[in-house]
Structure 1
Amino acid sequence: MGEFGELARGVLKSGRNLLPVIAVVALFQAVVLREIPEGVLPVIAGLALVAVGIGLFLRGLELSVFPVGRSLANAFAEKGSLPWLLAFGFCLGFAAVIAEPALIAVAHKAQTVSDGLIQAWTLRIVVAGSVGAVVALGILRAVLNHPVHWYLIGGYLLLVPVTYLTPPEVTGLAYDAGAVSANIVTVPLVAALGIGLMASLRGRSVLADGFGLVALAVFAPRVAVQIYGIVVYAFEPGALAGYTGAATAPLPADDGRAGHAALVLLATDLLRILGNLLPIVAVVLAFQLLVIRRPLLHPHRLAGGFLFLVAGLFAFTEGLHLGLFPIGEHLAAGLAGAGSAVFLYLFVFLLGFAATLVEPALIAVAQRAGTLAPRRLHPPLIRGLVALGVGLGLGVGTVRLVTGWPLDHVLVFTVLGLMLLTLLAPRDLVGFSFDLGGIATSDVTVPVIAALGVGLAVALESDDVLLDGFGLVALASLYPIGVVLLYSIFTRAAPSERH
């Protein structure tokens, strides 16, 4: 009965978190578009499934992912084997990304539109390998007690020349690869590993040193894929002539699921979720049983948590297809066609703000950070700041789309601004701020932003529909970093909290 009560409270809380999204959509549908859209009931059912899925997912994290992350970090710290710890970090990062469905979709699309110059499997290896390598690098940085801000500044400054040297179409693909590398499962697990590792080492600040792994995992594919694209197209100067842009995970369509076809599609979705989780489970079990050589603590509890994760992700994914996916494209197209730029910018901002508030990975990490520094990092405040950043990023991206500003210029000036804020911000919140940028573009916001970008580009008769959608995703992941860094600068006088 106690577990059922916890689940019920989690689902109700998730339902309350969805209210901003519902309010934004209803407001613009009634006041601006002045019409009742078709298929309202499936959208409502989808939103209910999203609430149930988030509730199950968060409970699964508490029962399985967070305890496993803490346990492994403690065991490696006690064992004192840095090579095995680095090997675990690499394998965890690689396994978490290689089976990501959105990455698979991006890779196959890139192979198609490049006439085979970019190989789907090679691209997946590049992304997964870069994430694994940088997770290992982040662990080494934490153990050696190097300040995380120098790694982030150096890495993002490297993005500036690389972005200008890369063909614009490949830049869009690279930034999308960075976004999909931070998914709903890996973000909490990587964060739990970093926090657990710092908690195991004496004299370390969990808040200052435990974050930064997610930020590095998001940054690495953006550089690696651009370099890969530069090398590939250096030998094929005319290859980009027919390029139409890469794609994120397939945008939803009204596929008329019914009867046997619906069951097949549901089973396929469930198998994809299991396929995404099993490589991570295999890595954890292999290192737990073969390297650390300790039995799992509370295996029944961990198994129950894993089932909650699977059920939560399944309900969440189906809810996205029914409820959240169609919203962005439909309303963006309607607003763009209405001819009112003010309403369009306001809607884009509010939709990004509302969608970010219900991001499961953000909710989980904000709650975790709130336990480390309750006086400075109130979870609702952190979620609000990140949502504000996503809204601002989408606003800038929409202005860019309407005015035709070059995407690379906007990205580079944004990165340079972030580097300046990084130098001014308190060191203990730099890694946390950059992690939030990766977390902001995960399983809720990326599909909504992608649908929003496609809807806007179609309505505005863009020459490259999919590429323009990528600009929105990239900016939505960068502006939250700036907002949280600004918050940390203005609250510098607050006493530091160490645990």
Structure 2
Amino acid sequence: MEHLLRFAREFSKALKNLLPIVAVVVVFQAGIFRTVPDNPMDLLAGVLIVGVGIALFLHGLDLSVFPVGKNLANQFVRRGALGLLLPFGFAIGFAASIAEPALIAVADQAQLVSGGRINGFTLRVVIALSVGLVLVLGVLRVLRGWAIHKLLIGGYAAVLGLTYVAPPEIVGLAYDSGGVTTNIVTVPLIAAIGLGLANSIRGRSPLADGFGLVALCVMVPMIGVQLYGTWVYNFGDAAPVQPPATDAGAADWVFGMLLGLASMVREVLPNVAVVLFFQYVALRRKLAHPMRVAVGFLMVLLGLYAFVVGLKIGLFPIGRLMAEQLIERGAPALILLFALLIGFATTMAEPALLAIGAQAQEAAPGRISALALRLVVAVGVALGIAFGVYRILVGGPFHYYIMTAYAVVLVLAFLAPSYILALAFDLGGVTTSEVTVPLVTALGIGLADAVEGRDVLIDGFGLIAFASVFPVIAVIVYAMLVERFSPLRKEQP
């Protein structure tokens, strides 16, 4: 009964979080386009299924991913098994990234748009290796107590330096690649590991030291992809592009459902396999409450699947339709308004943000509000996507815009309260997941293809990058304002 009541509460919250998306659709369709979608009930059904998926997902995380991740980190520290902890970090990072659906989609688009010069699988391997290696660095940071701002400032200085010399065809893709490496399963697990380490080591703060791993997972792939792109465009040759395979089972609803479920298993299974290997083989310890953990993982899987099915049934079709309608109208003000509103609405419904916001509030009760964080991050994403759309509409080199945005971040990093930096950069990485990435990518490529004088490869990518960096700015500014105007919340010495 307790679990049913909790599921009902999570479902109710999920529906409330999805209301902004429905409101945006209704306002634009009824008030601006004055049309009714062909299948309005699909939108309603999709929203309900997404709500069920989010509720299952969040409840499953609390039963499985969060306790298992924190417990593993705690066991590694208590046993002094650093030789196991570092390989565990690499394995989790690589396994999660190589099978990430959003990354696969972006890599396939990059191979297609670049005429085969960029190899989709090689791009995925480069990014997965980057994430694996940076998780090793992130674990060392928590163990050694290294200041996160030094790593982030040094890393982003390298990112910006490479941007000067990297081919323009690769820059937007490189910045987008950082935003698609973190999904709604990986982010909570990585966050749980960081928080588990910080809680297990004397002198570490869960807020200042427990967060930051996701931020590093966003940053380092930008370096790896720019290096890969520099090599490809200087020394590589274009490879033949295979035409996209047709979906022979599109008419077979049952086959399609099974295929989709298999895809979700492929995404979740590498993470589960790594966790179980290190738990049973490396540490030789049994899981506490294995049945509860198994049920939790099953709920995560089913919730993620229901989430994606709901998106495909209701939200993605209407999102693509509205993007096409806006591009056909050629009204820049309406396109910017749509980008602003859809950025805010989708972020408020982002499951990974819901999970991390709750963990941040738990790590710093009384100082951080999960709801306030979500609102601030949603505003940041909205402004970032709108800014990226504005760049496509008016033109101008992408790297000038994105370098300016990250330069602002680096300046703010010197001024911000120390406790917020790791969390702020983490939140920039959780805003571009299964909800936002497909809609934003489709909008960017569609605009670049429709606006005269734009190049799809150079200008079509980059919206995800702006959707990642602006929330960092928003959270840091929010924390600075709180510190300035709420003396009771100032960081204790």
Identity of aligned residues (%): 49
Distance in 2 of aligned mates of 1:256 and 1:92: 33
Alpha-carbon offset, residue 355 of structure 1: 0.7
Corresponding position of 1:444: 435
1:365-444 alignment to 2 at 5 Å? 365-444=356-435
1:215-254 alignment to 2 at 5 Å? 215-236=215-236
Corresponding position of 1:136: 136
Corresponding position of 2:451: 460
Distance in 2 of aligned mates of 1:196 and 1:4: 28
Alpha-carbon offset, residue 169 of structure 1: 2.1
Corresponding position of 2:319: 328
Larger mean Cα displacement after TM superposition, 55-64 or 460-469: 460-469
TM-score (norm 1): 0.92
Alpha-carbon offset, residue 468 of structure 1: 3.3
Alpha-carbon offset, residue 340 of structure 1: 3.5
Distance in 2 of aligned mates of 1:387 and 1:491: 18
Corresponding position of 1:65: 65
Distance in 1 of aligned mates of 2:426 and 2:232: 30
Corresponding position of 1:302: 293
Q: Deviations over 1:115-136 (max 9, x none)?
A: 6544433322211111010011
Alpha-carbon offset, residue 462 of structure 1: 6.1
1:49-448 alignment to 2 at 5 Å? 49-114=49-114, 116-236=116-236, 257-258=250-251, 261-448=252-439
Alpha-carbon offset, residue 5 of structure 1: 1.9
SS in 2 for 1:136: helix
Distance in 2 of aligned mates of 1:462 and 1:46: 37
Instruction: Specify whether residues 193 and 486 from structure 1 end up closer, same or farther in structure 2 by C-alpha distance, changes over 3 A only.
Output: same
Instruction: Specify whether residues 306 and 169 from structure 1 end up closer, same or farther in structure 2 by C-alpha distance, changes over 3 A only.
Output: same
Q: For residue 377 of structure 2, what is the amino acid of its counterpart?
A: V
Instruction: Specify whether residues 491 and 57 from structure 1 end up closer, same or farther in structure 2 by C-alpha distance, changes over 3 A only.
Output: same
Pair 1:495 & 2:486 matched: no
Alpha-carbon offset, residue 409 of structure 1: 0.8
Alpha-carbon offset, residue 479 of structure 1: 0.2
Distance in 1 of aligned mates of 2:228 and 2:14: 40
Where do 5+ consecutive residues of structure 1 fail to align?
Answer: 244-249
Distance in 2 of aligned mates of 1:223 and 1:13: 38
Distance in 1 of aligned mates of 2:150 and 2:452: 42
Instruction: Specify whether residues 309 and 467 from structure 1 end up closer, same or farther in structure 2 by C-alpha distance, changes over 3 A only.
Output: farther
Corresponding position of 2:3: 3
Distance in 2 of aligned mates of 1:429 and 1:316: 30
Distance in 2 of aligned mates of 1:114 and 1:38: 35
Q: Deviations over 1:174-203 (max 9, x none)?
A: 223222211110000000100111001112
Distance in 2 of aligned mates of 1:398 and 1:118: 24
Distance in 1 of aligned mates of 2:115 and 2:489: 57
SS in 1 for 2:272: helix
SS in 2 for 1:295: coil
Distance in 2 of aligned mates of 1:255 and 1:45: 25
Instruction: Specify whether residues 18 and 112 from structure 1 end up closer, same or farther in structure 2 by C-alpha distance, changes over 3 A only.
Output: closer
Where do 5+ consecutive residues of structure 2 fail to align?
Answer: none
Instruction: Specify whether residues 87 and 10 from structure 1 end up closer, same or farther in structure 2 by C-alpha distance, changes over 3 A only.
Output: same
SS in 1 for 2:489: coil
Corresponding position of 1:247: none
Instruction: Specify whether residues 112 and 21 from structure 1 end up closer, same or farther in structure 2 by C-alpha distance, changes over 3 A only.
Output: closer
Alpha-carbon offset, residue 374 of structure 1: 2.6
Q: Deviations over 1:444-484 (max 9, x none)?
A: 11122123323433443564346534221110111000000
Larger mean Cα displacement after TM superposition, 105-114 or 216-225: 105-114
Alpha-carbon offset, residue 70 of structure 1: 1.0
SS in 2 for 1:206: coil
Q: Deviations over 1:50-106 (max 9, x none)?
A: 111111100110000000011001101101122221111111111111111232333
Contact 1:65 1:188 (8 Å CA) reproduced: yes
Distance in 2 of aligned mates of 1:104 and 1:371: 33
Larger mean Cα displacement after TM superposition, 28-37 or 378-387: 28-37
Q: For residue 322 of structure 1, what is the amino acid of its counterpart?
A: I
| CA RMSD in angstroms, aligned pairs only | 2.3
Contact 2:249 2:256 (8 Å CA) reproduced: no
SS in 1 for 2:430: helix
Corresponding position of 1:246: none
Q: For residue 262 of structure 1, what is the amino acid of its counterpart?
A: W
SS in 2 for 1:90: helix
Contact 2:208 2:420 (8 Å CA) reproduced: yes
Distance in 2 of aligned mates of 1:455 and 1:35: 21
TM-score (norm 2): 0.93
Distance in 2 of aligned mates of 1:321 and 1:401: 27
Q: Deviations over 1:247-277 (max 9, x none)?
A: xxx9xx999954xx22112111111110111
